[in-house]
């Protein structure tokens, strides 16, 4: 009787796994029918997703999913391994999330058995991890995307194979182009810097990697920081900007102008009619803050001749400005504004022009450019502060009946306007108001000139604005 009871229990368990197998099979079959036209799977092992023992596969799948859904990835590892070796097509997560399971298993080994056990297992288990990427490509495609992840694990887990990882990063970016994930460029540069520090990569090769990733970063920053984007896309923009910051930080020790010039100048003659090379070089020199160098100007002029667009004009404007030729800098800033394709770009250029004019003490031009910026962005506190600064700087030369004190009134009007339209500049505006308001007209002097508090007062000279009289303390 006892023997019969055991047989019955075993039969019940078998029925349970067969039922699981049928349910999972029907579910995956339905999904497969929906996606077959989009993601056809041609690998031979997917013709029989359940492997040679469907009942055992169902049992292992049930246990794997139980642990996986509870995020107990290390505990899920033995069941995952069976499925990977015997039924890799049963669910996409077997290959898609295999690396997660393996890494958590390694962490568990390190915690329980120590670093020596961890490193011993890395040598053997990393091959399995890498096989998950290969299998994922074979079964589900996305070669470029997958290789970006694969390459990073190669260089991080097996540094001795870093060169192989660098090759794979290159393959990933070549395949994905502008669709590259935001993490890949910084992982690629990180690996390149490490290899250079180990004296296994030349500086020339390191900069070639930088040149390779820079256009992708630029395209994605431009795409995901444009105005009118959804919150989701704006988050992508933040991630791409962080990627750029990380890369510049990693490369900063090597972004020396002399080194950059030494690296790029020998190739100028062969590439002075190649806009792609010139564009990349100018951006690289930008990041190295090389605008004062004659080579930067040479490249910028060649690029503008081939591509007379806003970016090229900006490069020339910066070059002439750094070299002290403000007349030419202003000419090219204006060209950049005229050629700009977005209001945001035009706004930034007009603000830059206003600042340049202020530095050159051309105060009426400060207002001209600031007003153009305000025409694009009516809430530009920065533009109103620049006008206030221009008025303040002209106080001695534009005084009327109230002298310089009267000019300070209109300057403060602009600072108040800046604070009102743009809270982000409130602190700066308040500081300037505090500095100037003490120099408002004196009550006694104003009285003898027939001017009282609250009167309308017009400031002459190039300013030509009216204000309301207030007295200083």
Residues 363-372: pLDDT tens digits?
Answer: 999 999 999 9
| pLDDT tens column, 312-341 | 888 888 888 888 888 888 899 999 998 888
**In the predicted structure, residue 10 carries a pLDDT above the cut 60:** no
Instruction: Say if residues 195 and 201 touch (Cβ distance below 8 Å).
Output: yes
| pLDDT tens column, 11-54 | 434 444 444 443 343 344 333 333 333 344 445 557 777 877 88
Amino acid 4: pLDDT: 37
Angle between helices 98-113 and 115-140 (to 10 degrees): 170
**In the predicted structure, residue 422 carries a pLDDT above the cut 90:** yes
Question: In the predicted model, what is the mean pLDDT of residues 63-73?
Answer: 83
Q: How far apart are CA 209 and CA 202, in angstroms?
A: 11
Partners of 459 in the β-ladder: 465
Amino acid 31: pLDDT: 34
**In the predicted structure, residue 347 carries a pLDDT above the cut 90:** yes
| 3-class DSSP assignment, residue 9 | helix
| pLDDT tens column, 433-455 | 998 888 887 776 666 677 777 88
pLDDT band at 9 (very low <50, low <70, confident <90, very high): very low
To 5 degrees, how large is the angle CA 343–CA 347–CA 348?
120
Mean pLDDT of the chain: 81
Instruction: Say if residues 216 and 200 touch (Cβ distance below 8 Å).
Output: no
Q: Which of 67-76, 209-218, 459-468 has the highest mean pLDDT?
A: 459-468
| pLDDT tens column, 373-391 | 999 999 999 999 999 999 9
Amino acid 24: pLDDT: 40
Amino acid 373: pLDDT: 95
| pLDDT tens column, 242-273 | 888 888 888 888 888 887 888 788 888 988 88
**In the predicted structure, residue 160 carries a pLDDT above the cut 80:** yes
Helices within 141-274 (DSSP H only): 143-157, 162-176, 183-197, 203-224, 231-251, 257-264, 268-271
Q: Which of 10-14, 125-129, 138-142 has the highest mean pLDDT?
A: 138-142
**In the predicted structure, residue 136 carries a pLDDT above the cut 60:** yes
Q: How far apart are CA 270 and CA 10, in angstroms?
A: 78
pLDDT band at 118 (very low <50, low <70, confident <90, very high): low
Beta strands at 465-468 and 456-459: parallel, antiparallel or unpaired: antiparallel
pTM of the full structure: 0.53
């Amino acid at each position: 009787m006892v023997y019969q009871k055991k047989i019955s229990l075993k039969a019940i368990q078998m029925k349970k796994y067969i039922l699981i197998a049928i349910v999972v099979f029907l579910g995956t079959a339905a999904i497969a029918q929906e996606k077959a036209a989009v993601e056809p799977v041609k690998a031979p092992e997917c013709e029989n997703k359940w492997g040679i023992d469907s009942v055992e596969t169902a049992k292992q799948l049930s246990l794997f999913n139980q642990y996986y859904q509870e995020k107990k990835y290390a505990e899920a590892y033995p069941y995952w391994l069976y499925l990977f070796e015997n039924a890799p097509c049963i669910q996409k997560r077997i290959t898609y999330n295999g690396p997660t399971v393996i890494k958590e298993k390694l962490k568990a080994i390190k915690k329980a058995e120590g670093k020596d056990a961890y490193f011993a297992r890395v040598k053997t288990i990393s091959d399995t991890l890498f096989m998950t990427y290969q299998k994922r490509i074979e079964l589900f495609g996305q070669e470029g995307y997958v290789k970006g992840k694969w390459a990073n694990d190669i260089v991080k887990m097996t540094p001795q194979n870093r060169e192989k990882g660098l090759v794979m990063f290159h393959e990933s970016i070549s395949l994905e182009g502008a669709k590259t994930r935001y993490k890949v460029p910084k992982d690629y540069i990180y690996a390149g810097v490490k290899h250079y520090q180990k004296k296994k990569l030349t500086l020339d090769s390191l900069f070639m990697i930088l040149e390779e990733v820079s256009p992708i970063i630029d395209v994605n920053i431009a795409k995901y920081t444009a105005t009118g984007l959804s919150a989701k896309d704006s988050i992508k923009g933040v991630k791409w900007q962080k990627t750029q910051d990380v890369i510049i930080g990693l490369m900063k020790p090597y972004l020396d102008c002399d080194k950059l010039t030494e690296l790029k100048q020998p190739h100028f003659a062969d590439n002075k009619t190649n806009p792609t090379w010139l564009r990349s070089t100018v951006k690289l020199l930008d990041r190295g803050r090389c605008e004062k160098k004659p080579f930067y100007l040479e490249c910028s002029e060649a690029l503008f001749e081939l591509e007379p667009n806003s970016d090229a004009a900006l490069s020339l404007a910066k070059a002439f400005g750094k070299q002290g030729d403000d007349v030419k800098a202003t000419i090219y800033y204006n060209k950049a504004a005229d050629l700009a394709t977005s209001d945001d770009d035009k706004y930034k250029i007009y603000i830059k022009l206003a600042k340049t004019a202020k530095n050159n003490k051309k105060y009426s031009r400060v207002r001209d450019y600031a007003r153009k910026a305000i025409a694009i962005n009516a809430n530009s506190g920065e533009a109103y502060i620049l006008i206030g600064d221009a008025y303040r700087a002209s106080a001695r030369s534009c005084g009327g009946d109230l002298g310089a004190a009267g000019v300070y009134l209109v300057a403060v009007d602009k600072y108040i306007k800046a604070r009102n339209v743009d809270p982000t500049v409130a602190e700066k505006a308040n500081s300037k108001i505090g500095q100037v308001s003490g120099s408002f007209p004196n009550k006694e002097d104003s009285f003898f000139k027939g001017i009282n508090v609250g009167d309308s007062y017009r400031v002459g000279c190039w300013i030509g604005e009216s204000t309301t009289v207030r007295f200083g303390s």
